[in-house]
Amino acid sequence: MTTPPLRRVALVAALLFCLSGAAFATLVPRMSFEQIVEGSASIVHGTVVRTWSAWDSSRSTIWTHYEVRIAESLKGDRADTIVISEPGGEVDGTQMQVVGAPRYAIGEEVVLFAASTPMGFLRTCGWGQGKFQVQETEPGGDKRILGGLGSVQLVDPTGTTKESRREAGVDLQTLDGLSLEAFKARVRASVSALGRVETSR
């Protein structure tokens, strides 16, 4: 069987995770607010200003890159911009789809939690769990955050109970609708607490 000459479409099972065949949702380990703060190399509030897709150096995977202009850096190096890279995209007529990989749009305002990858890219921490859209309640009104899991189904480790989930930290989904400033204040407090813990080790 040969690949069509003009276009080939590759459906890639999300890296290191399984796909739910019925719903085409990527199964992702559930993370708490504290876990995504700790697991992120950078946490920023900003706006997406540019996007492009390209093959990786081995030409095995297409990645879509998103440049975000930073309004405030909450964790990590202070910079003007940050580039988030997610698997999937289209290059020269070749498409690669990774179910559950977060997507960003130019002009989208976000608070994002970015984790380092072995190949040197920054990815959204916990798949869509580390992406929070910033939305106005009305034109010129207060801004609030909204999580965006997309085609992701969160799963708990075997044996997880309600008590152990509470011990793991704050459920990210309970933060939906929080004001932007209140959310960023929680991030700053969590980053500061994490720094105190690491210093005391």
Q: Is residue 128 part of a domain?
A: yes
Parent domain of 58 = 9-193
Quick: pLDDT tens for 26-55: 899 999 999 999 999 999 999 999 999 999
Are 176 and 147 spatial neighbours (Cβ–Cβ below 8 Å)? yes
Rounded mean pLDDT of 58-73?
Answer: 96
Q: Is residue 142 part of a domain?
A: yes
Gap between the Cα atoms of 189 and 176, Å rounded: 18
Q: Is residue 198 part of a domain?
A: no
Q: Is residue 2 part of a domain?
A: no
Q: Whose structure tokens read 């697991």?
A: 39
What's the whole-model pTM score? 0.82
Rounded mean pLDDT of 72-97?
Answer: 95
What is the pLDDT confidence band of residue 166, given thresholds at 50, 70 and 90?
low
Q: Is residue 156 part of a domain?
A: yes
Rounded mean pLDDT of 192-199?
Answer: 79
Q: Is residue 201 part of a domain?
A: no
Rounded mean pLDDT of 157-180?
Answer: 82
Q: Is residue 85 part of a domain?
A: yes
Rounded to the nearest angstrom, the gap between the alpha carbon of residue 11 and the centroid of all alpha carbons in its chain is: 20
pLDDT at 24: 58
Query: At residue 16, does pLDDT exceed 60?
Result: no
DSSP 46: E
Query: At residue 69, does pLDDT exceed 60?
Result: yes
Count of structural domains, the chain: 1
Query: At residue 22, does pLDDT exceed 70?
Result: no
Instruction: Give the pairing type, strands 62-75 and 89-91.
Output: unpaired
pLDDT at 131: 97
Query: At residue 116, does pLDDT exceed 60?
Result: yes
Are 78 and 194 spatial neighbours (Cβ–Cβ below 8 Å)? no
Q: Is residue 200 part of a domain?
A: no
